[in-house]
Structure 1
Amino acid sequence: MKVEIWSDIMCPWCYIGKRRFEAAMEQFSDAGSVEIEWHSFQLDPTIESGHGDNLYTYLSKRKGIPYEQAEQMNHQVTALAADLGLTYNMEQAVVANSFDAHRLIQLAKQHQLGDAAEERLFKAYFTEGKDFSDAGTLVELGKEIGLEESVLTELVSGQGFATEVRRDIQEADALGIRGVPFFVFDRKYGVSGAQAADTFLEVLNKSVDEWKKTQPAGLEIIEGQTCGPDGDC
């Protein structure tokens, strides 16, 4: 059964949601039946990288709120993240356009490294203050999760996987997704936000139980004369 997760690297609730979902999966007895796929989403596709605003100034301008309120909002989410073992250094965050980071994730997905890419990029942004719009930074982060440097260099020098990023964003719009994180279970149930692990676990149990009922039973075999790999015929 597939669980699809729409997320943006610059979303603090997405990193928290990832941890809470992982906690649910650790408790889920049928985790081996679940396939997880990450999808791209951009909270603000209009951001111009290198504008120089820190996160609090950016949020103040975008939301039309006082600087101090933006700072306080992030202090609250930082405390929640810490409860999950995550370190948010919001004052160091480099506000940049996440499109190229999503292209890296799409590349990583082709190598079964989608989850590793999400994890590394979240940490790079929220903990380490790295600029995920910088080509060299993306190459280094990609190498850290096991991607070849030549493939990464080709990615950052062109527009590879841009179509896949845009397709994910368009699909989110078609599904009515207006915010992230957003979790879709077997294309039957949607869960919005960084819910508690117990909520994710409840939906996992329900979804997998229903999914199993739709799977074909094992083959009923009528035996006949065959040849096997051991040479018996």
Structure 2
Amino acid sequence: MRIDVWSDIVCPFCHLGRRHLELALGQFEHADDIEVTWHSYELDRNAPAVGSENVIDQVARKYGAARDQMIAQHQQMASAAADVGLDFQWERLIPSNSYDAHRLLHAAREAGVEESVAGAIMRGWYTEGAAIGDPAELRRLAAVGGLDSETIERVLTSDDYGIDVRTDEAVAAQIGITGVPTFVLDQKFAVTGAHPTSVLLEAIEHAWADQGNRPDLPEAGGCGGGCCGGGGCGDPAETAAGDSDAVGGAGCGSGCGGGGCTADGICGEHQPADAR
């Protein structure tokens, strides 16, 4: 069975979601038969290569939120990360454009070192305070992950693999993804947000048991359904109607429930639809 995941390196919830997926698959008896494919997603294509202010101030200013509220939110994320063995150093985060990092990950996949390069770049931003929009930092991190220097230089001095990034983003838009992380299970069920390991495991087991059944096509274009339940939520209309316990069809809206980051760059625990 196939699991497609859309995520952005500069989304804290994507790091947590990646870890939760790893833990869920560790508990799934058919994990050897699961193929996970990671897809690029940029929360802010127009972000400068390296931002000039810290993430807390940037988010608080951009969305008119209280700085103390943003600090508390990031402290909660750090606590959740520590619970699953991650080290989220939110005070060291440097706002960065992730386009070049995504291109390097596509090159790393082709070279057979995607997992190690992704780990190095993600730790760099999430834990070490690296500015991953800085080519020098990307060179260092990609090399740490095992990508050869010739490939690194070729990617960073060209637009190689840019088409792969844009294709991933076009597919995300086509199936209605507006928040990350988003996990699409067996090309028909979607889970958006950094839900607990138990929720992801339940969704994977549901998709595995449902293999061979195809969802009904929507009457209009796009994909219907919402996101995974277990406390999560998907399409606001469905959530308001009390459908939050269902695993939705592929194609969903903003991350919620377990927290996520939306296409406008907002990261956080999203409110229920009726509270918006």
For 2:116 and 2:38, the matched residues in 1 are separated by 11
- C-alpha displacement of 1:49: 2.5
Deviation of residue 103 (structure 1)? 0.7
Match of 1:162 in 2: 162
Q: Is the contact between residue 185 and residue 204 of structure 1 (CA under 8 Å) also seen in structure 2?
A: yes
Matched, 1:55 2:61: no
Higher mean C-alpha displacement, 111-120 vs 74-83: 111-120
2:172 matched to 1:153? no
CA-CA distance at 1:4 after TM superposition: 0.6
Which ranges in structure 2 are unaligned for 5 or more consecutive residues?
215-276
Query: In 2 relative to 1, CA 20–7 (structure 1 residues): closer, same or farther, beyond 3 Å?
Result: same
- 1:186 CA drift (Å): 1.3
Query: What runs of 5+ residues in structure 1 fail to find an aligned partner?
Result: 215-233
Written as runs of structure 1 = structure 2, the 5 A alignment for 1:1-233 is 1-211=1-211
* Deviation readout 1:87-120 (Å, 9 max, x if unpaired): 1111111111111111111111212333333322
Cα separation, 2, equivalents of 1:93 and 1:200: 27
Could you tell me the TM-score, scaled by structure 2's length?
A: 0.74
Q: CA deviation at 1:206?
A: 2.5
**Which residue pairs with 2:246 in the alignment?**
none
Question: Structure 1 196/51 Cα, relative in aligned 2: closer, same or farther at 3 Å?
Answer: closer
Q: Which has the larger radius of gyration?
A: 1
Residue identity (%):
30
Greater CA drift, 172-181 or 115-124:
115-124
Distance 1:29 1:212, change over 3 A: farther
- Alpha-carbon distance in 2 for matches of 1:82, 1:147: 28
- The number of residue pairs the alignment matches comes to 214
Q: Which moved more, 1:102-111 or 1:182-191?
A: 102-111
Does the CA-based 8 Å contact 1:21-1:197 persist in structure 2? yes
CA displacement 1:138-164 (0-9 Å, x = unmatched) = 122212222111111111111111111
CA distance in 2, matches of 1:114, 1:190: 23
Cα-Cα RMSD: 1.6
C-alpha contact (below 8 Å) 1:38/1:115 kept by paired residues = no
Shift of 1:178: 0.8
**How far has the Cα of 1:209 moved from its partner?**
3.2
Tell me the CA shift for residue 194 of structure 1. Answer: 1.0
SS at match of 2:211: helix
Q: Which has the higher helix share?
A: 1
> Moved runs in structure 1, 4+ residues, more than 3 A?
209-214
Q: Quick check: 1:92–1:128 contact (8 Å CA) kept in 2? A: yes
Shift of 1:213: 8.3
Amino acid at match of 2:33: S
TM-aligned CA deviation for residue 80 of structure 1: 1.0
Q: Does the CA contact (< 8 Å) of 2:24 and 2:198 recur in 1? A: yes
User: Which structure has more RCO (C-alpha within 8 Å, separation ≥ 6)?
Assistant: 1
Q: Distance in 1 between matches of 2:28 and 2:102?
A: 29
Matched position secondary structure for 2:184: strand
Counterpart of 2:188 in structure 1: which amino acid?
A: K
What's the TM-score, normalizing by structure 1? 0.86
3-state SS, counterpart of residue 211 of structure 1: coil
Choose 63-72 or 145-154, whichever is displaced more.
63-72
Q: Deviations over 1:53-112 (max 9, x none)?
A: 111111112222122222221111111111111111111111111111111111112123
Contact 2:50/2:131 (<8 A) preserved: no
